[in-house]
């Protein structure tokens, strides 16, 4: 018995008439009779009996009708849910980003997204870029904002933002009047920065290795406000992306760019050749628009 035949049986039971059922189904009565006889032949039984001018389900007909209606209801529910997802009325997205990126750029963007698509739920994960890369790669996250360069070859990326990492010093520091700074200037100098699970830390260490210099890191961590306070109070050097220092301790620090420039770039990342839900595609478009016009 196929879906079409299930609909026929259901309509016969509803109308209690072969004539009315055929009319509602927009088929001829002989065609409906033929289809019913075919199904009854498959199960070697009779699904309906006549009583006066009406037809009623037999005991086997009641069983067939029960399962047919279950199937039709499930099919209807499936079609409804598919339409909801296609129309962005339902769905779930696992979205990750570094906490500091979320604080700087995402509150209004995510509020606007939920207003536009209230039926889509966002599962948020905050972590360092290295951990986020692995979570996208293994499928735990659908999308993540990562700091470039993205080492995982299995990930695709869409650029969002370009800026730079700088050194922040207090207005009393001996470097306060410098226009730029190089990695070589940090030879034997202590500084504070993000912890090793952040991409900025990894890139810094790589730069020191290129110059064969041993870095002297005083404090490292994930809390940029703590790093700013500890650097300000100790008259130390803070190495972080420019937007982070500006947002937290702009009044207390002078920002000195690196030469050559130490780029800090953000990208949206997702798995190559993997399925992206309609909701995920909508979030990508929304974030692109947000960063293009509001950052």
DSSP state string for 140-208: S-SEEEEESSP--TTEEEEEEEEEEEEEEEETTSTTTT-S-B-GGGGTT-EEEEE-TTSHHHHHHHHHH
Q: What angle (nearest 5°) sits at the alpha carbon of residue 95, between those of residues 263 and 88? A: 125
Name the percent of the chain lying above pLDDT 90.
78
The structure tokens 């009315």 sit at 20
Token output for 147: 């700091």
d(CA 181, CA 229): 22
Predicted pLDDT at 295: 72
Residue range 161-266, CATH number: 3.40.190.290
Q: What angle (nearest 5°) sits at the alpha carbon of residue 263, between those of residues 258 and 269? A: 160
Which CATH number, 1.20.990.10, 3.30.1330.10, 1.10.10.10, 3.30.70.1150, labels domain 3-86? 1.10.10.10
Q: How far is CA 270 from CA 95, 96, 195, 232, in A?
A: 10, 11, 24, 38
Q: Where are the domains of the chain?
A: 3-86, 91-149+268-294, 161-266
Q: Which residues of the chain have pLDDT under 50?
A: none
The secondary element (H helix, E strand) that includes residue 91 is: strand 91-97
Contacts 24+ apart (CB under 8 A), 39-45: 39/1, 39/5, 39/8, 39/9, 39/64, 42/1, 43/1
Contact 118, 237 (CB under 8 A): no
Same fold across 91-149+268-294 and 161-266? yes
Superfamily classification of domain 91-149+268-294 = Periplasmic binding protein-like II (3.40.190.10)
Predicted pLDDT at 237: 97
Token output for 152: 């995982």
The structure tokens 């034997």 sit at 188
Contact 231, 168 (CB under 8 A): yes
Q: What angle (nearest 5°) sits at the alpha carbon of residue 252, between those of residues 250 and 255? A: 55
Among candidates 145, 148, 178, which has minimal Cα distance to 165?
148
Token output for 209: 């290795």
Phi and psi at 165, nearest 5°, equal: -85, 140
């Amino acid at each position: 018995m196929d879906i079409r035949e299930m609909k026929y049986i259901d309509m016969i039971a509803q109308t209690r008439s072969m004539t009315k059922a055929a009319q509602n189904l927009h088929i001829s009565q002989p065609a409906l009779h033929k289809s019913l006889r075919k199904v009854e032949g498959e199960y070697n039984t009779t699904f309906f009996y006549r009583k006066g001018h009406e037809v009623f389900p037999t005991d086997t007909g009641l069983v067939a009708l029960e399962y047919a209606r279950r199937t039709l209801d499930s099919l209807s529910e499936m079609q409804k849910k598919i339409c909801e997802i296609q129309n962005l009325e339902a769905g779930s997205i696992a979205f990750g980003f570094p906490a500091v990126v979320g604080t700087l750029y995402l509150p209004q963007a995510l509020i606007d997204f939920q207003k536009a698509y209230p039926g889509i739920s966002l599962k948020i994960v905050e972590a360092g870029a290295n951990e986020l890369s692995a979570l996208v790669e293994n499928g735990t996250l659908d999308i993540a904002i990562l700091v470039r360069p993205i080492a995982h070859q299995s990930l695709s990326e869409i650029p969002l933002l370009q800026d730079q990492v700088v050194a922040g010093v207090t207005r009393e520091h001996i470097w306060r009047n410098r226009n730029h700074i190089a990695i070589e200037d940090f030879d034997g100098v202590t500084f504070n920065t993000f912890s090793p699970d952040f991409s900025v830390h990894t890139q810094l260490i790589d730069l020191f290795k290129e110059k064969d210099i041993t870095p002297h890191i005083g404090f490292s961590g994930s809390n940029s406000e703590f790093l700013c306070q500890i650097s300000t109070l100790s008259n130390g050097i803070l190495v972080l992306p420019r937007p982070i220092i500006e947002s937290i301790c702009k009044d207390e620090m002078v920002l000195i760019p690196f030469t050559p420039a130490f780029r800090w770039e953000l990208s949206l990342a997702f798995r190559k050749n993997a399925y992206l839900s309609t909701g995920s595609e909508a979030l990508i478009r929304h974030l692109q628009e947000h960063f293009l016009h509001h950052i």
